[in-house]
Amino acid sequence: MAYPRTTADYERVETCLGIDIGGTGIKGAPVDTAAGRLLHDRVRQLTPQPSAPDAVVDVVCDVVARFSWRGPVGITFPGVVLDGVTHTAANVDKGWVDLDARRRFSEALHAPVTVVNDADAAGIAEMRFGAGRDRRGTVLVLTFGTGIGSALFHDGVLVPNTEFGHLELNGHEAEHHAAGNVREEHGLSWDHWAHRVQHYLRHLEMLFSPSLFIIGGGVSKKAEKFLPHIKHVRAEIVPAALHNDAGIVGAALAARADHGAVPIPKC
């Protein structure tokens, strides 16, 4: 199928726009929510520094405008989100704490908006269309990037806002030990970084006994560089099938569920 080029074209499929806000980048694209695929090359812009609400909203508006989009928008946020309110902000400006983000984005975009935790969105997409499809039991989706995001599922049901990247590990937050950007900032080899990830996974395994770990974020495209070095973990470990697009797809799925066109099926 050729990429749609107008809003009218997008309406011919089960489409919603997904925006994924990260600590370093903001990316988005229209998504066919029935198939779980992007309908256009994603647009990516740097997350403004400082990442105060007004500055981030401006970038999101610009990304949405690139697609001449008019309709529901799903937006991920790297922190706890309850009823559209962002309650934590570990890797973005503290001005987001206790902010009605859904209202702020809706007013700026003049559109219905759904705001969801970023890792939850990625997990929803992986469980519906990716590496977790048809998997039962306890599944942990982990996104390694600026921080570590987590999405916990049991028999396909999400436990939202787990934020396991902030678990204490050796006296420090786990993401300060094993996030994707830690490898880059400290110049760690892939096997050295994999040893840190292994330590983290073993800690999560002790707490939750998952049957499957799904490793997402940008590192999922380079799984062959680090997964062979992770040993002594009982659970199966696989890379995310949707790679770094999972957040965009999950955001779109959440918006469609909120606005009535395509409910998110139980995985």
Distance between CA 117 and CA 246 in Å, rounded?
12
CB of 201 closer than 8 Å to CB of 208: no
Distance between CA 96 and CA 78 in Å, rounded?
10
Strands (E), 87-243: 99-100, 113-117, 138-144, 148-154, 157-159, 168-169, 172-173, 212-216, 236-239
Distance between CA 74 and CA 237 in Å, rounded?
28
For the chain, the structural domain boundaries read 7-120+245-258, 134-241
Q: Of all helices (H) and strands (E), which one includes residue 178?
A: helix 174-178
pLDDT in tens, 93-106: 999 999 999 999 99
Q: Is the dihedral of CA 29, 83, 23, 189 positive or negative?
A: negative
Confidence band of 259 (pLDDT split at 50, 70, 90): confident
CB neighbour list of residue 259: distance below 8 Å, 6 or more residues apart: 16, 72, 112, 114
* pLDDT (average), residues 65-92: 95
* pLDDT (average), residues 44-63: 98
Q: Is the pLDDT of residue 6 over 90?
A: no
The two tokens of residue 19 are 């925006």
Task: State residue 70's pLDDT score.
Answer: 87
Q: Chain-wide mean pLDDT for the chain?
A: 92
Confidence band of 14 (pLDDT split at 50, 70, 90): confident
* pLDDT (average), residues 164-187: 95
Q: How would you list the strands of the sheet with 99-100, edge to edge?
A: 81-82, 85-86, 99-100
**CATH fold match for the domains 7-120+245-258 and 134-241:** yes
pLDDT in tens, 112-154: 999 999 999 999 999 999 999 999 999 999 999 999 999 999 9
CATH 3.40.50.300: does it fit domain 7-120+245-258? no
Q: Is the pLDDT of residue 31 over 50?
A: yes
Distance between CA 110 and CA 119 in Å, rounded?
26
Confidence band of 9 (pLDDT split at 50, 70, 90): low
Determine the CATH number of domain 134-241.
3.30.420.40
